[in-house]
Structure 1
Amino acid sequence: MGRRIRARRRDLGLTQTDLAGPEYTKSFISQLEGGYADPSLDTLRFLGRQLHLGLSAMAGDAADLRLSVLAGLLDWAQAAMRDRRTDPARRAIELAREIAAEARSDFYAADALLLLADLELDAGNFERVHAVLNEIAQLPVSTGSRTSTRMALTQGRLALRRGDPASAAAAFRRASGHVRKTPRHPDLTVRAMIGIAVASIPLGEFRQARRRLQSAMTLAARHSLEAWRGRALIVLAEVSRIEGRAEEADQHLLEAGRALASTDDRPAQAEAGKPAGERAVDRLV
């Protein structure tokens, strides 16, 4: 795969720095082209956009084709989870885990397990979430900033669902600390900020919540992350409602609706449409 990426880059007249863009580094692209780096799903998507190639075009031999299949499976599983099609999503994740094991790709194994943890969390299987997170912790990539960030986000969401906002806030702060080492994933930064804000609400720390949400919305707008900007606005509307600012809350919800209209984030759209006081903002992290 590295050779094909290098050839395509040269065909387009791009340097390694050009290909890296602001999200990655020249050193990382060099390692990738030399076969010394195992690209994550996010990396493959980014390279596909930069090189105007589909995942299958970047794949060639059997091992690379497995990575292409893995990427597609995990994408499909995420879409199924958004549509609340739990059983098909679970089957896709389990198949992805099998292929990741055959391909000896810890990155994809971790991605599949993180999706499984989210699936179990949404189903209320809290003990199973713990077991999955422990399984991820055994993988070498668990110490990487991206995986560590996503694990901390899941731990924060789990604490919220268990009614422990203080532990949730601590987990989201850990995620925020990890994500500083992962500047190429602004969506994770936004999620950590929203998580801290959501955990701050039951603690009565409304100023903290507002500050984090404003930062999240600014970053989301900068990177065209409209779904996450919409989610932040829904949480901000809840803060305004609790503080007795009904008109302000309505304005935030209107803006959230506009942001979410261009996305396929159906869970967030559903929360935005619920009556005041019935929104489960802990599910928006």
Structure 2
Amino acid sequence: MGELAVGDRDDPAVIGRRVQRLRADRGLTQRQLAEPAYTPAYVSTLEAGRVRPSDEALRHIAGRLGVAFEELVTGRPPHLATDLRLRLTEAQRALATGAAEAAAESYAALRAEAAAHGLAELEAAALLGLGECAVEQGELTAGREYFERAERCLADAPLPARVPALRGRALAHYLAGELRYAVYLLESTLDELNRTGLHDPDALLLLYASAIGPYMDLGAHARAAQAAELALALAPRAGDPALVARMHRSVARTLLAEGRLAEADASLAKAAELYRTLQLRTELANCHWMRGYVRAQDGRLAEAEAELRQALDMLSAKRAALYTSQVAVELADVLRRRGRSGEAASLLRAVTDDLTSERGAVHAAGAHRLLGIIAEDARDTEAAEEHYVRALSLLERAGAAGDLADLCRLLGDLLRRTGRVEAALDAYRTGLGHRTAPGTTTLGPAPAQPPL
């Protein structure tokens, strides 16, 4: 048998007390435990914690006591860590295939057992899973707290091991509308990885793919394109197919912004195939979401509606509340463009309760922007203005420069048409201010790049 790492062993005093307790439970004397290889005096010294016993001595004592060597040395049942890892995989699969509530229950039980036995790495993995379940269900504050606890569990681990928790925390801030802080977390982690030579492909791919969304929402298209190129270059080196699939979905958004629709569609098709293989229901639903978005930008509205409805059905079936609301906003835009404004407005009103400044601010603003356009089309300028102003307030908090500029234009046009020229000019000036301050010049220096 192989030896346990020094860090996995309890200290001699703890082992000594454990030996004494187990010996007493079995009614053995120190002589009976020691024979034939050791002396009663040695066992007495060991039980007092005054000697660090060798593996050979501990194996002898474990055999006499009828317990596994690992349990005697660590206090943990044999194979506990392996059993917990198997259960962890089952919980991960449950989350990936849409059973977030069942996964959360499994992760919670795992976390408690891992913590009770001092298995920090497994406790961190369970906390990471709890964070992902919480985000999946729209509980962003709880998710962020779980990710922070996972980071603390891994405080002594190398940075690549902490990246999933850091990325989770950034995602929770991003979905809450705190775009700049999300970018700061992702970029500072990338910078540290690249500057210190910790070029872990999976970690880098996860961070670059995760940064594309916040970059796009901030209007930092050049930086989003650079992140997409780096992610594509890293993909062949990454070992996790789920990460590669997620990267293809994120990259599609940048390709779309550059007008490369066919390439975006191809990237999403690759991601969808990988997710089908992996049975990752949420990510596959998100692929349909992005494919619908691509179709809508290309003017193929009927196909866009079909893709978005499929995404909505998949997400609703597993009650992924936040993502469901975000897809509903995209679908409402397609419905409005297809001349079904009443249906679009009903859908938007149904989801605005699920989207707030703290939870999905960018999409909440998108919902109010669309409601404003629908109200304008119906010649209800008062309602339109109210929705535009609410959208502006949400976007200002999130710092989404490109969306702010567009919204200021819409509000300015409305004010001008209703005779409020000075107010319209103020709105246009505000929009120009956002348009002339793109994310590429306001985010600070780009992070160091990996040596590809």
TM-score normalised by L of structure 1: 0.70
Q: Distance in 1 between matches of 2:355 and 2:178?
A: 18
Aligned partner of residue 305 in structure 2, secondary structure: helix
| Structure 1 position 179 matched with structure 2 position 262 | no
Residue 322 of structure 2, aligned match among 213, 227, 250: 227
* Matched letter for residue 128 of structure 2: R
Q: Tell me the equivalent position of 1:73.
A: 166
| Structure 1 position 55 matched with structure 2 position 138 | no
The alignment's C-alpha RMSD in Å is 4.2
Contact 2:132 2:168 in 1 (8 A): no
Q: Distance in 2 between matches of 1:154 and 1:188?
A: 11
* Matched letter for residue 268 of structure 1: H
Contact 2:212 2:224 in 1 (8 A): yes
| Structure 1 position 46 matched with structure 2 position 115 | no
CA apart distance, 1:192: 0.8
Aligned partner of residue 362 in structure 2, secondary structure: helix
The percentage of aligned residue pairs carrying the same residue is 16
| Structure 1 position 205 matched with structure 2 position 288 | no
Q: In the TM superposition, what whole-angstrom CA distance separates every residue of 1:253-275 from its partner, at most 9, and x where no partner exists? A: 12222443698111111111112
Query: CA, structure 1 residues 251+71, in 2 after alignment: closer, same or farther (shift >3 Å)?
Result: same
Contact 2:206 2:247 in 1 (8 A): no
Query: CA, structure 1 residues 8+89, in 2 after alignment: closer, same or farther (shift >3 Å)?
Result: farther
Q: Distance in 1 between matches of 2:274 and 2:317?
A: 21
| Structure 1 position 267 matched with structure 2 position 339 | no
CA apart distance, 1:42: 8.3
Q: In the TM superposition, what whole-angstrom CA distance separates every residue of 1:228-271 from its partner, at most 9, and x where no partner exists? A: 11122112212221221122111111222244369811111111
Q: Tell me the equivalent position of 1:30.
A: none
Q: Tell me the equivalent position of 2:445.
A: none
Aligned partner of residue 244 in structure 1, secondary structure: coil
Unaligned runs of 5+ in 2: 1-7, 9-75, 95-113, 115-120, 134-145, 375-387, 392-402, 404-452
Aligned partner of residue 373 in structure 2, secondary structure: coil
Q: Distance in 1 between matches of 2:329 and 2:78?
A: 41
Q: Tell me the equivalent position of 1:95.
A: 188
Q: Distance in 2 between matches of 1:126 and 1:89?
A: 16
* Matched letter for residue 157 of structure 2: A
CA apart distance, 1:188: 1.8
Q: In the TM superposition, what whole-angstrom CA distance separates every residue of 1:112-133 from its partner, at most 9, and x where no partner exists? A: 2223333433344444334333
Contact 1:100 1:106 in 2 (8 A): no
Query: CA, structure 1 residues 207+171, in 2 after alignment: closer, same or farther (shift >3 Å)?
Result: same
Residue 246 of structure 1, aligned match among 341, 345, 355: 341
Higher Cα Rg, which structure: 2
Q: Distance in 2 between matches of 1:176 and 1:125?
A: 26
Q: Distance in 2 between matches of 1:22 and 1:49?
A: 11
Q: Distance in 2 between matches of 1:73 and 1:56?
A: 7
Q: In the TM superposition, what whole-angstrom CA distance separates every residue of 1:5-38 from its partner, at most 9, and x where no partner exists? A: xx699879x765544336439xxxxxxx9xxxx9
Contact 2:205 2:238 in 1 (8 A): yes
Contact 1:226 1:260 in 2 (8 A): no
Q: Distance in 1 between matches of 2:132 and 2:265?
A: 35
Contact 1:234 1:253 in 2 (8 A): yes
Q: Tell me the equivalent position of 1:276.
A: 373
Q: Distance in 2 between matches of 1:8 and 1:258?
A: 48
Aligned partner of residue 63 in structure 1, secondary structure: coil
Q: Distance in 1 between matches of 2:126 and 2:324?
A: 23
CA apart distance, 1:194: 0.9
Q: In the TM superposition, what whole-angstrom CA distance separates every residue of 1:64-101 from its partner, at most 9, and x where no partner exists? A: 6x467544533443344443442x44442233225546
Q: Distance in 2 between matches of 1:166 and 1:85?
A: 28
TM-score normalised by L of structure 2: 0.47
Aligned length, in residue pairs? 259
Q: Distance in 1 between matches of 2:361 and 2:78?
A: 37
Q: Relative to structure 2, which stretch is displaced further, 76-85 or 195-204?
A: 76-85
Q: Distance in 2 between matches of 1:256 and 1:136?
A: 33
Contact 1:210 1:236 in 2 (8 A): yes
| Structure 1 position 161 matched with structure 2 position 257 | yes
Residue 90 of structure 2, aligned match among 1, 21, 36: 21
Contact 1:190 1:228 in 2 (8 A): no
* Matched letter for residue 157 of structure 1: R
Query: CA, structure 1 residues 9+200, in 2 after alignment: closer, same or farther (shift >3 Å)?
Result: farther
Contact 1:55 1:68 in 2 (8 A): no
